[in-house]
Structure 1
Amino acid sequence: MRPLWTLPSGFAAFLALGASAAAWGAALPWLRVEYGLGPSGGEEVISAYNLGALVAILGCGLLSRRLRPRPVLAASLIALCGGLVAAALAPTWGSLLVSAVVAGVGFGGAVLLLNTAYASGPRGVVLVNLANAMFGVGAIAAPLLVAATDLPVVLLSIAGTALVALPVVAGPLGVHAPTPPVDRATVVLIAPFAVIGFLYAGVETSAGAWVSTHLTWTGTAPDTAARMTALFWAGLAVGRVLVPLVARRPEVIVPVSFAVATAGLLVATNPALAAVGYALAGLGLAPIIPTALVWLARLTPHAHLAGSALLTSSMLGNVIHPVLVGTLTTRDHPATISPAIATYAALGLITALWTARHRALAH
């Protein structure tokens, strides 16, 4: 019999995952002072964390036919907890980087397994979006906590939340059963979803990186621009709660979400409406990745491999797209920022429509 508190502990896990992902960037000023890194150092800790996450996601995906979900999830949450505790107590910069890698490994494994588990359930669209809304709450809360206290306290608090989340291991993670070999048809099925993840990252990460700059370059005061940027992230969190309440069909939700995001980014080309446009873009983007995972889980028995491909392509997009947007814009031409990001959303819309039509014809 599964514990009644499995679902709350799952949401606690996503809260910890979101907070751990967002804490490092917010903590860079503190880290630079604490470890004597200079005025522009410290970004290596974010790379170390993401490297660990990428390794875990790839490994869990490629070895999905051999790994058992429950012990791997338990190990992932323990690695996240242990890495965060070690980072909080790290005496040197090198030991902190190693701790960040360990925490990242735990993050990657837990994100993949929990998303796949929720996406594969009978209420997948609702649960996976609600769970990712909790991820967003953690991502919003972590920078506020870092600003209010020292990083070690925040990391230890997140580690404690991850530890409290361990009962989720007793939840419905799916039965470890033999799956058919991966063939060409599986790769063909997964490929467009990997493209969707890559293009989604182009919108989310580029918007997160450039909204404040766009608003500042068009005449908004920096502190006001920072507050307006929060509207984009708030849209992401709110959308993951609201959208599943009104729609349940992934093949409809994903294209419509890209369309709404595209429209919002085009609205944002008007400086007077930029904040509203970015909030609308965030609202549209919100359900794309969680719902795409549900869509994939309904189409293939290789749910972990498919989820790994989607999340890995999204992480690669996180690295590539903000840099590409930066090459297309300057302070003298801030109006290019929003259309550049909108291009990713429009390409995502085309890919999602093609995928929905192709899958409908296949059945």
Structure 2
Amino acid sequence: MSDFIQSWDKKGSEPVRRPLWTLPSAFAVFLALGASAAAWGAALPQLRQRYDLGPTGGEEVISAFNLGALVAVLGCGLAARYLPPRPTLAGLLAAFGCGLVGAAQAPNWGFLLVSALVAGVGFGGVALHLNTTYAAGPRGVLLANLVNAMFGVGAIAAPLLVAGLSASTALMSIAAVVALSVPLVSGAVRERPPTPPVGRATVVLLAPFALIGFLYAGVETSAGAWAGTHLTWTGTAPDTAARLTALFWAGLAVGRLLVPLVATRPAVIVPTAFAVTTAGLLLATHPPLAVVGYAIAGLGLAPIIPTALAWLAHLTPHAHLAGSALLTCSMLGSALHPLLVGLVASPQHPTTIPLALTTYAVLGLLAALWTARHRTPHLAGTTQP
């Protein structure tokens, strides 16, 4: 096996070589990213009891985490030309780990919210840097999905840790995994080459992808936050519901491993993924099939964001800014959508949760179909990855 993974710069003239020894660290950090994303929703029942938040309170912690991520992704994207990649990544990893430790040891609800915000800043910045790195190049669809499969593995593990141990132990464990990602700072991140000025054409290109990211987040984050509550409201014990939500995240992990093996065209993958997600969520409206429905929805969602990032990387030389726009809108959706679902969710009508998620999936399908028709690589003079 070659000693290096090779991708190409936007001019296609020089190979960018990344040593294979950085891959285990990349897997570790994506494992931690996925676990942190899933842990908050799975931990909500415990947090409600610990901090006396009532039967439907606590979703603020998820929004705080995602708000921090939104700020980081937006800031890092806009300031990409001025931020040295390695020191920036080191600081973001530190914020991520320290925020998780603070949340695990929080003496009160306010302290926990601040810690979640700090952890979210680290989460968002790290996710942008690494997703952009692995999405670029002729094998962007494969590599982006592969590292994000580890995100799904971490998301599977987090609910199991929360249910089997405690929310605090789960957060401390995730922080420990973050420490394993330190080699990424020196190995996987490189200086970015100069890019042409951003013009109106770039903004027009990014708009539909931004909408896809926003609607995708409406499903993924809200499902992660509310699936356990939905199962609980339909008669499942809280600890069992936390374990069963791992199947949703299992679908995310499996889908990211399988999809690049059977398809390589982003314009086909993304709309199909939204269609599968819609079918799974409709299935979840029937209580006996809810767990299966959420697993199918996770399988459908799996390739959307990493494939869209690779799609964008082959449409524009502004890969970092494009990734920032996509992830910013995704993070904005992650901060907003759980609260919106909470406004319509009702213990008396548990089906309101999967129906709200289905609405996002259908809108995402429509956006993906339009983008596949109007934003194909030949329009920009490039080739399909």
- TM (norm. structure 1) is 0.85
Q: Deviations over 1:63-96 (max 9, x none)?
A: 1122232222122112223333455556666555
Displacement after TM superposition at 1:121 (Å)? 3.3
Query: Residue 285 of structure 1 corresponds to which residue in structure 2?
Result: 301
Which stretch shifts more, 141-150 or 178-187?
141-150
Which structure is higher in helix share? 1
Displacement after TM superposition at 1:212 (Å)? 4.7
Displacement after TM superposition at 1:8 (Å)? 0.8
Displacement after TM superposition at 1:203 (Å)? 2.1
Query: Residue 379 of structure 2 corresponds to which residue in structure 1?
Result: 362
Displacement after TM superposition at 1:43 (Å)? 5.3
Query: Residue 19 of structure 1 corresponds to which residue in structure 2?
Result: 35
Question: Following the alignment from structure 1 to structure 2, what is the Cα–Cα distance between the partners of residues 313 and 307?
Answer: 10
Question: Following the alignment from structure 2 to structure 1, what is the Cα–Cα distance between the partners of residues 113 and 224?
Answer: 24
Q: Are the structure 2 counterparts of residues 42 and 290 from structure 1 closer, same or farther at C-alpha, using a change threshold of 3 Å? A: same
1:249 aligns with 2:278: no
Q: Deviations over 1:219-269 (max 9, x none)?
A: 654466555443322212211111111111111110111111122233444
- TM (norm. structure 2) is 0.81
Which SS does the other structure have where 1:66 is aligned? coil
Query: Residue 365 of structure 2 corresponds to which residue in structure 1?
Result: 349
Question: Following the alignment from structure 1 to structure 2, what is the Cα–Cα distance between the partners of residues 328 and 39?
Answer: 18
Query: Residue 159 of structure 2 corresponds to which residue in structure 1?
Result: 143
Query: Residue 383 of structure 2 corresponds to which residue in structure 1?
Result: none
Q: Are the structure 2 counterparts of residues 346 and 38 from structure 1 closer, same or farther at C-alpha, using a change threshold of 3 Å? A: closer
Aligned residues: 360
Alignment of 1:196-207 (within 5 A): 196-207=212-223
The 8 Å contact of residues 3 and 170 in structure 1, kept in 2 or not, is answered as: no
Query: Residue 124 of structure 1 corresponds to which residue in structure 2?
Result: 140
Q: 186, 195, 202: which one pairs with 1:186?
A: 202
Q: Are the structure 2 counterparts of residues 208 and 33 from structure 1 closer, same or farther at C-alpha, using a change threshold of 3 Å? A: closer
Alignment of 1:283-362 (within 5 A): 283-325=299-341, 330=346, 334=350, 337-360=353-376, 362=379
Q: Which runs of 5+ in 2 are unaligned?
A: 1-16, 381-385
Question: Following the alignment from structure 1 to structure 2, what is the Cα–Cα distance between the partners of residues 266 and 92?
Answer: 38
Q: What amino acid maps onto 1:38 in structure 2?
A: D
Displacement after TM superposition at 1:100 (Å)? 3.4
Which stretch shifts more, 145-154 or 288-297?
145-154
Question: Following the alignment from structure 1 to structure 2, what is the Cα–Cα distance between the partners of residues 265 and 26?
Answer: 19
The 8 Å contact of residues 60 and 304 in structure 1, kept in 2 or not, is answered as: no
Displacement after TM superposition at 1:7 (Å)? 0.6
Query: Residue 52 of structure 2 corresponds to which residue in structure 1?
Result: 38
Over the residues paired in the alignment, what is the CA RMSD in angstroms?
3.1
The 8 Å contact of residues 68 and 176 in structure 1, kept in 2 or not, is answered as: no
Q: What amino acid maps onto 1:71 in structure 2?
A: P
Q: Are the structure 2 counterparts of residues 311 and 132 from structure 1 closer, same or farther at C-alpha, using a change threshold of 3 Å? A: same
Displacement after TM superposition at 1:122 (Å)? 3.2
Query: Residue 53 of structure 1 corresponds to which residue in structure 2?
Result: 69
Q: What amino acid maps onto 2:330 in structure 1?
A: S
Which stretch shifts more, 57-66 or 331-340?
331-340
Q: What amino acid maps onto 1:179 in structure 2?
A: T
Q: Are the structure 2 counterparts of residues 341 and 3 from structure 1 closer, same or farther at C-alpha, using a change threshold of 3 Å? A: closer
Question: Following the alignment from structure 1 to structure 2, what is the Cα–Cα distance between the partners of residues 276 and 323?
Answer: 25
Displacement after TM superposition at 1:145 (Å)? 2.6
The 8 Å contact of residues 212 and 222 in structure 1, kept in 2 or not, is answered as: no
Q: 67, 85, 89: which one pairs with 2:83?
A: 67
Q: 274, 280, 299: which one pairs with 1:264?
A: 280
Q: Deviations over 1:188-224 (max 9, x none)?
A: 111100100111122223333444555566x654466
Question: Following the alignment from structure 1 to structure 2, what is the Cα–Cα distance between the partners of residues 213 and 38?
Answer: 17
Question: Following the alignment from structure 1 to structure 2, what is the Cα–Cα distance between the partners of residues 101 and 325?
Answer: 21
Question: Following the alignment from structure 1 to structure 2, what is the Cα–Cα distance between the partners of residues 212 and 153?
Answer: 19
Which SS does the other structure have where 1:299 is aligned? coil
Q: Are the structure 2 counterparts of residues 250 and 173 from structure 1 closer, same or farther at C-alpha, using a change threshold of 3 Å? A: farther
Q: What amino acid maps onto 1:12 in structure 2?
A: A
1:100 aligns with 2:116: yes
Question: Following the alignment from structure 1 to structure 2, what is the Cα–Cα distance between the partners of residues 89 and 336?
Answer: 34
Question: Following the alignment from structure 2 to structure 1, what is the Cα–Cα distance between the partners of residues 348 and 171?
Answer: 40
Q: Are the structure 2 counterparts of residues 298 and 231 from structure 1 closer, same or farther at C-alpha, using a change threshold of 3 Å? A: same
Question: Following the alignment from structure 1 to structure 2, what is the Cα–Cα distance between the partners of residues 216 and 45?
Answer: 20
Q: Deviations over 1:93-134 (max 9, x none)?
A: 655544433322221110110111111133221221122221
